[in-house]
Chains A and B, each alone.
Chain A
């Protein structure tokens, strides 16, 4: 069948400035269990997308029908669309150079999740469900597993021929308690580009016990106060903090205005590169699509650019963006390989890969011990940020008050808020590599039609001074 697409590519080579074709074959297994109710879902999804640049403008057409005539029709639709785009295009699209790749890549995994018996996966979730519902305060227990195998073929008129096979595994558990009018929740989830061994390493039944107890204790915990405080963020919450306040504002297409009609723009304008103080000297942020097991890892992006590691913030100074071939041409740079599409039916956009806070030198126990008075928060509950990514407010599931270097009591309904560069400038400590972990965020949203894509964030817990916690009501 690949010959069919190569034939179309030969045709397009004669007609357009540039074209590429992505053919995807995805298999997904998702199992959810809620209070003993099991919802198992298999999914098979195949299709292709043809992107052409003609008269300096983009056109994209996609289809799930693979017969020769339909493939040819789809290519012609893409050309017609590009022609229409050109009628309202002031600057012709140009792309920076790349090393054209001919390659085949299979992401390493130890245990193929699709070979693990379905019954075993259901049984694991039912075990977690049983453990969480052992406490009378627990009203809703939920667990889920998700596995995806993506086979992607990429070919371009420049001669690229790339095959990739990427396996994703992930899952989580959630435990809701209720007493009177108070409802509390504790959850734990993670995802990675790994096999079933990733699920086994999560030890979900053991985590179920912890969440059950914490969710019950939250019902009798005092409310998080409303004050300016020293704030420690655990890894899973820091992953969300980086995602929203660093990951999205460094997308160069957003900076150039192409998301202005929907998700917004960015405060990190072009004039800030190389001189803007984004954070304190403890803050070094990288984007790294080469990290083993990271949910935002791959071998090549959806323009055929090899996966890379890029420094975004170096010791607090803003250094650069996530980029594409189109956005780097006018800057005299090369793409750092961040163009990703959520499916065959979507055009690639600049997306987060694994955007990470590099580790510092502190052991977590030492950091807590060094904190005279503060609050440690973890696990995202609510998230909101303005359309230039400055003012944020995040809520967490759980917090602990710190007094004289010790966690003294649990707090419920914690919330903190700030302005992005002020917040990161208040960072005075980051924990060491021993505490550094890549958290998988499976549903990052962007674009129209909306595209949700898996990304990763490597982080270790960190400390911030003078942060507003709680909300005046």
Chain B
């Protein structure tokens, strides 16, 4: 860890350079260690130490950016000079007014000392606990255990000095038999909460339940989406429509629909970067405190998330959702989505479904077919089942869906009270329930 004091010192020294009206430096540093396993053995085991400094230079309202993976004086000076040169070539940006002024950020505890235990031996031993369980049942395990220790500092010449250290652990397992597979995932900031054997058992149970799958014709079915499946849909909803760029460009499913009912009233979705169930980050990559933003409230479109440039365009304030400045044309995105839970348990919901399809998770979703309709396609994976008269009666071969998420979320019958934090490595995480949706459109099938 470099530490807050050292990063402040580096930033202050950078701001003494001449040539820009305003300067910003974002430093992201840390280690990532990852142990990958497949066919019941470790096949890839890596560690990485890196630091990334991104300098944004402002000349009136022209902006240039330069990145370098070092923080010694010479490297940062190089980056500042390149950023200033780039800004001189850029056109004036009418929507840019100024870098943000300092604001007080919430303090979120997301750096856990337990990370010190995460040696290569500890990682191998944790993976062994999964593999031993799986192998003992005559099955095959694959997956990855990753351990992050990261510090993020955002500093600008107007006095922003935001710093946040964090830890993050994630273990995924795909357990396979000859004709089936199951999945489980843990993620969180404290490795003491990792229970490899429990995760192995979850994936084993799903894999065994999914044995001897039968084919079913595509068509419209009621569907029970587990949290893993819903989280993958949320990642695409965030990307295509919950940020101000796509909203202002008119291609978001939220564009021109604020205040309208676009989903069922059982659907409430918000973003909260301060919740430690996700990789909490109390400020964005401009140093603006992350606000809790209501996106869909009881089915009604309420708003999207903003950074300084997109908020200025609408005369609003940033909600604290800026991405790193080299991605400013992508625009702000919600990276910590939540959906409100319901009142029923998952088992109670399943018992109410007369005929439907139970989906553990999706594979390779794509949400670019018609972003205005949130028309998505994707495949089921790692456990798909037929539900008849409230019971799971058969494992199914995998299916392709092609469906508008506006239509699907307007057809929500029930939402589970249980919720789970699910996500990819460090972004696109969400805390979601399981849902029952009626008339979900399955459009194709595969051979396994």
Contact = CB atoms under 8 A, between A and B. Distances in A.
Interface of A: 30, 32-34, 36-47, 57-65, 74, 77, 80-85, 87-91, 118-119, 122, 126, 139-140, 142, 176, 178, 181-183, 256-262, 264, 267, 345-347, 381-388, 390-391, 393, 395, 413, 415, 417, 419, 448-450, 471-473
B175 to A, nearest CB: 10
Interface centre among B79, B89, B371 (most CB of A within 10 A): B89
B445 A46 contact: no
A139 B251 CA distance: 10
A119 B51 CA distance: 30
Contacts of A448: 34, 36, 144, 146, 425
Given A85-B42, A90-B41, A63 B49 contact: yes
Contacts of A176: 249, 251
Interface of B is mostly: strand
Contacts of B90: 38-40, 122
Contacts of B119: 84
A384 B378 contact: yes
Interface stretch (B60-68, B285-293, B341-349): B60-68
B142 A413 contact: no
B39 interface: yes
Given A40-B86, A62-B46, A88 B124 contact: yes
B120 A80 contact: yes
A162 to B, nearest CB: 22
B10 interface: no
Interface stretch (B11-19, B186-194, B300-308, B361-369): B361-369
Interface in B82-106: 82-83, 85-87, 89-91, 93, 95
A39 B444 contact: no
A87 B37 CA distance: 12
Interface string B362-382: 011111111110000111010
A473 B91 CA distance: 45
A45 B69 contact: yes
B140 interface: yes
Contacts of B446: 386, 388, 390-391, 419
Given A40-B90, A448-B36, A382 B369 contact: yes
Q: How large is the interface on B (under 10, 10 to 19, 20 to 34, 35 or more residues)?
A: 35 or more
Contact of A40 (B41, B65, B367): B65
A449 B250 contact: no
Nearest to A66: B70
Nearest to B246: A140
Contacts of B445: 391
Given A57-B42, A118-B86, A388-B446, A178 B379 contact: no
Contacts of B174: 260-261
Contacts of B173: 261
A38 B143 contact: no
A449 B32 contact: yes
Given A43-B67, A387-B381, A448-B36, A84 B82 contact: no
30 contacts: A36-B91, A38-B90, A39-B65, A40-B65, A41-B86, A42-B66, A43-B326, A44-B67, A44-B75, A62-B49, A81-B47, A84-B45, A87-B128, A88-B37, A118-B85, A142-B329, A183-B371, A257-B142, A260-B176, A347-B44, A382-B366, A382-B368, A384-B364, A384-B365, A391-B444, A419-B447, A448-B34, A449-B425, A450-B425, A473-B402
A111 B125 CA distance: 53
Given A43-B66, A381-B369, 18 more contacts: A38-B62, A38-B89, A39-B329, A59-B120, A61-B47, A84-B120, A88-B42, A119-B89, A122-B90, A142-B329, A178-B251, A258-B39, A260-B38, A346-B46, A347-B44, A391-B447, A448-B146, A449-B32
Contacts of B319: none
Contacts of B120: 59, 80-81, 83-85
B131 interface: yes
A57 to B, nearest CB: 7
A36 B61 CA distance: 13
Contacts of A82: 45
A384 B42 contact: no
A67 to B, nearest CB: 11
Contacts of B43: 58, 258
Contacts of A59: 45-46, 120
Nearest to A26: B69
A141 to B, nearest CB: 11
A76 B395 CA distance: 48
Contact of B42 (A30, A89, A395): A89
A273 B79 CA distance: 51
B124 A87 contact: yes
B408 to A, nearest CB: 12
A42 to B, nearest CB: 4
A185 B63 CA distance: 27
A182 B249 CA distance: 13
Contacts of A259: 38
